[in-house]
Amino acid sequence: MAVRTPGVAYSITVRSEYPNDPGMLGKITSAIGDAGGSAMGVDVVQTKGSMVRDFTVNTTGHDHAIEVVDAIKAVPSVKVRSVSDQTFLLHVGGKIEMSSRVPVTTRDDMSKAYTPGVGRVCMAIHEDPDAVWALTGKGNTIAVVSDGSAVLGLGDIGAAASLPVMEGKALLFKEFGGVDAWPVVLDTNDTEEIIRFVKAMAPGFGGINLEDISAPRCFEIEDRLRAELDIPVFHDDQHGTAVVVLAGLINSLKIVDKKPGDLKVVVAGVGAAGTACTKILQSYGVTNIIGYDRQGALDRGREYGDNMMKQWFADNTNPENLTGTLAEGLVDADMLLGLAGPGLVTAEQVAKMTSDAIVFALSHPDPEIW
């Protein structure tokens, strides 16, 4: 099994106290290295009397972080004062906030921004509904909507537990696009309830970003909202993933010198992301795509019940109607697109793919293969 590389997502800061003697710093950093940690920063907190330093260390996960801390504790004369998780600290209090675009520092500012002046603006929108785009923030505001039923790599964790992801997506909208976004997590998995709620709140937003809603419900929710709303509706798990997968494939083919029509592509995971990625790859000219779920290849001999997307997948892919397991499908495959879960693929299976094979293992936080 491949060795995981320490990363910043599992970074810890260990505050350690020890005698201010020559060689102590080297002993501690050596202990960190021997435990497999990657020391990213050493900061002095105190030098008077005892030395106190913060050691920021990248690890591979929770259990590995404990091993690193134990290694530091094992250095003679070292006392660990505290351990903090950098990722958790970043999330304390949430990652986003509302800020004002105009100052309210005087009585006149208040009179124009709120009462009584705001009433005139409300009536202007009442008389001309299209004025809402110019006179409010609607045109630059996105709702990031989820029920937390299909958080990639984590599954059905519920609305509240999905909130850090939705806050993160709102953060990305603002930082990379200058677009204001707000997370809206819904404590229901009922398709009709979600559609009704989003339609009811839509007047306050310029667009809807659906996120981490399980298949096949996500397809109906997106289709219905697109048809019934007059603002853009985007399902990130489908179309966001598909866009970056296609971009990655375009660049990969330049490196391996292959053509889209010559590829045998294996898709592990045929939910929302797998289906959308397949459609965009087909639009780019990839014709030989085989999808795999827990039961194996999606072929035209299986029954899919009311799962319309799996039926579509079976009807429109797998031109040779292959059956069998994912491992069997990877033999002589040119590309693996992993959108399923951790540890599903082995190095031995990848070795049986074609030369210059392309592997996109996208399940997170743990991919199909390291």
Active site residues: 114, 169
State how far Cα 316 lies from the chain centre.
Answer: 28
**Residue 277, SS3?**
helix
What residues have CB less than 8 Å from 295, skipping those under 6 apart? Answer: 302
CA-closest candidate to residue 218, choices 299, 274, 298: 274
**Residue 188 neighbours by CB under 8 Å, 6+ apart:** 147, 194, 197
Q: What is the number of alpha carbons within 13 Å of residue 254 lying toward its C-beta?
A: 5
Q: Output 152-157 pairs: Cβ under 8 A, ≥24 positions apart.
A: 152/212, 152/237, 152/273, 152/339, 152/363, 152/364, 153/341, 153/342, 153/363, 153/364, 153/365, 153/366, 156/214
Rounded distance between C-alpha atoms, residue 248 and residue 236, angstroms: 17
Can you list the positions of beta strands (E) in 105-253? 141-146, 180-185, 207-210, 233-235
Sign, CA dihedral 224-229-230-234, equals negative
The residue written with tokens 């939705």 in the block is 166
Amino acid identity, residue 302?
Answer: R
Check: CB of residue 263 under 8 Å from CB of residue 353: no
Q: What share of the chain is helix, strand, coil (3-state, %, to 5)?
A: 40, 20, 35
- DSSP class of residue 26 equals H
Enumerate residues 6+ apart whose C-beta is below 8 A from 332: 264, 352, 353, 354
